[in-house]
């Protein structure tokens, strides 16, 4: 990389092009992750106790 300042400027430009999720989408995604973690924990706990 020849010019670090140019790189930083390019990164900043690209960051503005990103469609960032809304607060509602972020919460929904987080809740889905928590729900799947709970389902996985119950699944593995069941088989751990069973065998």
Write out the chain's pLDDT in tens, 51 residues.
578 999 999 999 999 999 999 999 999 999 999 999 999 999 999 988 987
Return the pLDDT at 40.
97
pLDDT confidence of residue 11? 93
pLDDT of 8: 93
Q: What is the pLDDT of residue 21?
A: 94
Q: N- to C-terminal Cα distance for the chain? A: 56
Structure tokens at 34: 């928590």
Per the confidence metrics, is the pTM higher than 0.75? no
Given this model, what pLDDT does residue 1 score?
A: 59
Angle, CA 45 vertex, CA 41 and CA 46 arms, to 5°: 120
Measure the CA–CA gap between 1 and 10, rounded to whole angstroms: 13
């Amino acid at each position: 990389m020849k010019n670090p300042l140019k790189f930083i400027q390019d990164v900043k430009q690209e960051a503005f092009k990103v469609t960032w999720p809304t607060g509602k989408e972020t919460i929904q995604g987080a809740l889905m992750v928590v729900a799947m973690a709970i389902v996985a924990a119950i699944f593995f706990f069941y088989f751990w106790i069973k065998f």
